[in-house]
Amino acid sequence: SSGINAEDELADNGCSKLVVKCRVMPSFVLILLRQYLRVDKVMYRVQETRIYAERDWDYAIREVTVREAGYGEVKGLGNVILFDEWAIGQHLPVTKCVRERLDFG
């Protein structure tokens, strides 16, 4: 399942969106938390947190990836990409990536 949990147009100066997607299967669970931020003519940021655990594990894996660029770095991509919150993420450089094990109990 998925849904937009929070959305704001930043007083008409951009967009901020928080989306959660969750997949629960008999053998595993996968959660995606994605925060998208666009400040018009200033910057873009996409932060994704993924949590994955298998049924027999006593731990989960969490990966946090942050992609970010100033407007000047991406303005040549064109409005189709600049205003597509999913497409722009592929064009932003990774500024942080952390993977860690979360033990239960």
- Is the four-CA dihedral 76, 64, 47, 22 of positive or negative sign? positive
pLDDT digits (tens, 9 = 90+) for 35-80: 999 999 999 999 999 999 999 999 999 999 999 999 999 999 988 8
Under DSSP, the state recorded for 56 is T
Distance between CA 8 and CA 14 in Å, rounded?
8
- Give the tokens for residue 10: 């930043």
- What 3-state DSSP class applies to 89? helix
What DSSP element (H or E) covers 74? helix 71-74
Instruction: Please tell me the pTM assigned to this model.
Output: 0.85
pLDDT for 71: 94
